[in-house]
Structures are given as structure tokens and as C-alpha cells.
Amino acid sequence: MITLSRVRFGPSGYPDEAKGNVKRVFEILEESGLDALEYAAVYGLRTSEKAAKVIGDLSRESRIFMSLHAAYFISLASKKEETRERSKERLIKALRFAPLMNVKRIVFHPGTRGGLSDDETFRVIRKALEDVWDVAGDAAGGAHLSPEVAGKVNAFGSVEEIINLCSGHEGIIPTIDWAHIYARRQGAIKSYDDYLKIINQFEDALGKKFTDNMHFHVSGIVYTKAGESSHKPLGESWGPDIAPLMDIILEQGYSPVIISETPVPIRGALYAKALLDELTRTKS
């Protein structure tokens, strides 16, 4: 497993001003003082092996930590068997491309419940991930599957479901999307203790597999009774306030990768980094 020694910050997706110029992507991150990038393959991993290798070489040269967000339309418990199989194929491809791209985490949403009971949904999704790992785990170059907490109230992907999915399988580690939890719980993350309770849930269940491989998504968010509606900037009128989270990271000595999913992701990453830097200065 990859064990980090410092907090890393970066955007989800390429900066707008660098699209079409992959070398410039990494230059902008370095110039901005950012050191992580989540490659956005949310509409499918369409890059060639040659282009993937270029990304990997650039990330190694610039020491940028790489994750990859797999396709939004993965649905491992779909009512359609064809959709289930294609979903597994997308994750298998991502794992096989991971060493080329220097990617260490494949972030994804497991998908809908497909009309199944909660227990059956879990069983089907867990079996699908075991199948994916059996096929491509050895080819992943140290990358892990990283299911993400979902933002819709009734979607598969509660904190408890993600913990259970990761338990007992070394190839699966969690992604905590704090805005999704905030929306899923209707704004119920407000304080230091609120954040710490959730972190402790993961740590108590997963131990060092979690603490050595923390992967967080942050953004503001608008939600309805159904859960998430749209992502918004950090530090404005939308919750959740991530200052308590930064306090915990600083005080506990955690070293997560923090990925911004705000509308302008690089701006959100810089905001989060500046917040932690300011807290570090005031408490030193």
C-alpha cells in the first residue's frame, strides 16, 4: 500500500486552461503548489496506452499523486446483467491502466440497488468487486479500488455500506466524500465532533488500511430531501464547512489526499490547502 507522509491537495480533472496540453496540466499543479490529481474518466477511460504512459511519466517527474475517477455509469447491481458485466469491465480496464498512469486509487460509485434488498445489493456488489480484483488485481501495480460514499439518500453507498465493502479485502479502500455525507445526512456535519465521529467509524473498522490511505473529496453542496443536487465552491454560503476537518487532520497527524470537486476544482484545492496552512501557522 501507498503510505503518505504529508497532506496532499489537488483538483478533480484537468485545469480548464490546460485542457489539450497534458504537460501544462502538471506544470500548473507544480506552479500552484498542488501535489495531487484525480484523473476524470467519468464518461469512460478513453485514453490510449501511449497517452496513459505520458500521464504516468509526467506525474512521476512532478511527484503528483494520481487517482482516477471511473465512469459515473458503473452499476454493479443493475437489473441488467449486461450493465453489470460492462461495469466490471470498466473497473478491470482502470486497474490495468493504473500502472501506466501512476494511479494508486480507482474511485467509483458502485451504482444503484437495482431493485434488490439492501443485503442482496451488498452481496452482488461485493462479489462483483471480488471478480474484478481476481482478474486484474495483480496487474494494478499497487492501485486499489476505492468505492465512494454516495450523496443520494437512498443510493447504495452509506458510510456503513462503504466500510463493510472495504472490510476483509485488501484490494478495496474507501473514498470519503464529505459533501456527499453532508447531503445524505441533510446537513448534519457541522462540528469537529461530527467529522471525528465519522473518521472514527472508518478507523475503528479498517484500522491502518484506512489511516494510511485516506482519500477525501471536498466541495460545497446543495441538497434536497433526496440528497445531493449540485456541487458548489468552498468557503462560501454552502456547507459543509471543512475547517473542523482540517483541525482534525492537523491535530491527529493524518496525511490524506484531498481532492476538490468544486465547480472550479483547482480553486477549491487551493482554498483547502490555504485553510490548512493558516491553521498550521496559528497553532504553531
- Per-residue pLDDT tens digits for 25-70: 999 999 999 999 999 999 999 999 999 999 999 999 999 999 999 9
Question: What is this structure's pTM?
Answer: 0.96
Q: What is the mean pLDDT of residues 203-211?
A: 97
Is 246:237 a contact under the CB 8 Å cutoff?
no
Q: What is the mean pLDDT of residues 95-117?
A: 96
Q: What is the mean pLDDT of residues 246-258?
A: 97
In the chain the domains, ranked by start, together with CATH numbers, are 8-283 (3.20.20.150)
* pLDDT over 60 (residue 3): no
**pLDDT band of 4, cuts 50, 70, 90:** low
Residue 284 is predicted with a pLDDT of 73
* pLDDT over 90 (residue 5): no
Q: What is the mean pLDDT of the chain?
A: 96
Is 184:158 a contact under the CB 8 Å cutoff?
yes
Residue 1 is predicted with a pLDDT of 46
